[in-house]
Amino acid sequence: MAEDEFEDLIGRPSLRSAVTAPAPRYTRRLSDKILIAFHQACDQSDYDVAEELLHILERMLTRRPVTADSNRRKNLESLVAAHERLWLLRHPENGD
């Protein structure tokens, strides 16, 4: 039985295929994952964790970039929106 036929039968690529065409290991940037975790913490009313994640994200986005980042403005806008969300969640009486 040929190796390609074997792959079709078991439904997974052989080691040879994995070496020649590796799948991307990460599909999102770390900053995106931290922002997602921040929103999840907010959704679960865990504001202390949300704040810590926000501080980490802020450090990541405000440090001197190694390469030119075309998404810097969008990233900073997301950071500002996240700060605003956390503030509004902690001060619901001022959100009107």
Backbone angles phi, psi at 21, to 5 degrees: -140, 75
pTM of the shown model: 0.65
Name the one residue in this structure whose structure tokens are 């995106």.
Answer: 32
pLDDT tens per residue across span 57-81: 999 888 876 666 677 788 889 999 9
pLDDT tens per residue across span 2-51: 555 555 555 555 555 555 666 777 788 899 999 999 999 999 999 999 99
Identify how many contiguous H helices and E strands the chain contains and give both numbers: 5, 0
Domain boundaries, the chain: 30-94
